[in-house]
Structure 1
Amino acid sequence: MMMVTGAMAQDHVGPVTDYVKANIEPWLVDPVVVSAIKEQNAANAGLGQADIDKLDQQWRAETEASDRPLIDKVLANALSQFLSAKQDEAGGMITEAFVMDNKGLNVGQSAVTSDYWQGDEAKWQKSYGAGAGAIFVDEVEKDESTQTLQSQASIAITDPASGEVIGAITVGINVDGL
């Protein structure tokens, strides 16, 4: 991906934010999303940084392997199926979607990400880390394979029952389609 600079680089923030509020935020209270994050948060509560690093290394190795137990487990779950369906319904406006837990680990995704741990990246830190209602719209990048302009929008996900921030979602938005 190639970064886009100048005035155009910031013109996308409003339209991307509007698209996210209208089209993505309604998904975030769906029981499929909320329960998947809460289950993973509970299952991973005892993970330390060394455990997270090991899982991330396993994921990265699996992206190049034919045997992919961790990747296949995530791609087969109900949340990944939900995100894939939402991406398909978006008619090309959404280029990717993945949900992260309270440690920044992938919970579900529409396509394989290059790594499993997003917790060290702005997409997680500026959404989950910023608290309830946070939306972080990243720079516009040109996807060389599709020749489209894209931006990632990341949104904190809140448990509707408790109001607690439990995870985040990152969605690739086709800026050309706005």
Structure 2
Amino acid sequence: MNFISCVAGAAALGLTVFGGTALAQDHVGPVTDYVNANVLPWLSDPLIVKAINDQNAANASLGQAEIDTLDQKWRAETEAGSHPMIDEVLGNALSKFLAARQEESAGMIAEAFVMDDKGLNVGQSAVTSDYWQGDEAKWQKSYGAGAGAIFVDDVEKDESTQALQSQVSIAISDPATDKVIGAITLGINVEGL
């Protein structure tokens, strides 16, 4: 396929090409619509709420030094032959729930991970590069922005799938208290919208 064909193909998808890279023009609306219709209905699932509340309680006394140590351990395990910490998270009920929602999305959701009130992973559909998301916009602009917050990030090419995706992060509240307890980040395939 030549460059002209790529440009024509990108235009057919509603994409604009800059320097040979296709970028979605206005992905925020379609991503938000997809999330509202397909993700928000399951964010109050008791399994999600309980998993976050349990981890929040277990980690209530963690300070930044301990968080950094956990994150460093996770990062080291992503490159090691043995990864008990990662295996424990990937094997929990919430991770299995998220993997099932990803599978049901027929390729629209490329990844999903839930974070607690400190920005630590609670469950995930696949391994993330780090355990602590609290220093990143995905957590700060969702959990940090309060109840109902949805943050749609820029479109980027996913290196593993070669698809254009945008990460969307949503604050998660406990339906019993209306208190924000954590957040979820999903990689949405914008080419499928």
Structure 1 residue 66 corresponds to structure 2 residue 81: yes
Give the Cα separation in 2 of the matches to 1:144 and 1:132: 32
Q: Which moved more, 1:4-13 or 1:158-167?
A: 4-13
Structure 2 residue identity aligned to 1:127: S
Aligned-residue offset at 1:148: 1.3
Is 1:53 aligned to 2:68, yes or no?
yes
Q: Secondary structure at the match of 2:47?
A: helix
Letter in 2 for 1:166: I
Q: 1:135 aligns with which of 143, 150, 170?
A: 150
User: Secondary structure of 1:29's partner?
Assistant: coil
Taking the TM superposition and a 5 Å limit, the aligned residue runs for 1:66-145 are 66-145=81-160
For 2:42, the equivalent position in structure 1 comes to 27
Residues 60-81 of structure 1, C-alpha deviations (whole Å, 9 max, x = no match): 0000112111101100100000
- Quick one: distance in 1 between partners of 2:41 and 2:84? 31
Q: Deviations over 1:7-31 (max 9, x none)?
A: 9545000000000111111111001
Q: Which moved more, 1:10-19 or 1:137-146?
A: 137-146
Query: Which residue of 148, 152, 156 maps to 2:171?
Result: 156
If you compute each CA radius of gyration, which structure gives the higher value, 1 or 2? 2
Distance 1:119 1:8, change over 3 A: same
In 1, Cα distance between equivalents of 2:154 and 2:186: 13
Aligned to 2:185: 170
* Residues 93 and 177, structure 1, Cα contact 8 Å, conserved in 2: yes
Structure 1 Cα separation of the partners of residues 25 and 173 of structure 2: 27
How many residues were matched structurally?
175
Q: Following the alignment from structure 2 to structure 1, what is the Cα–Cα distance between the partners of residues 115 and 137? A: 13
1:5 to 1:125, Cα distance in 2 relative to 1, 3 A? farther
* Alignment RMSD (CA, Å): 1.5
Q: Against the structure 1 CA distance between its residues 162 and 5, is the aligned structure 2 distance closer, same or farther, given a 3 Å change threshold?
A: farther
Give 1:133 deviation, angstroms: 0.3
- The amino acid of 1:109's aligned partner reads Q
Aligned twin of 2:12: none
Distance 1:177 1:86 in 2: 16
SS in 1 for 2:39: helix
Distance 1:42 1:145 in 2: 35
Identity percentage of aligned residues: 77
SS at match of 2:130: coil
* Further displaced range: 139-148 or 91-100: 139-148
If the length of structure 2 is used for normalisation, what is the TM-score? Answer: 0.87
Contact 1:94/1:171 (CA < 8 Å) preserved in 2? Answer: yes
Question: Unaligned regions of 5+ residues in structure 2, if any?
Answer: 1-15
Amino acid at match of 2:87: D
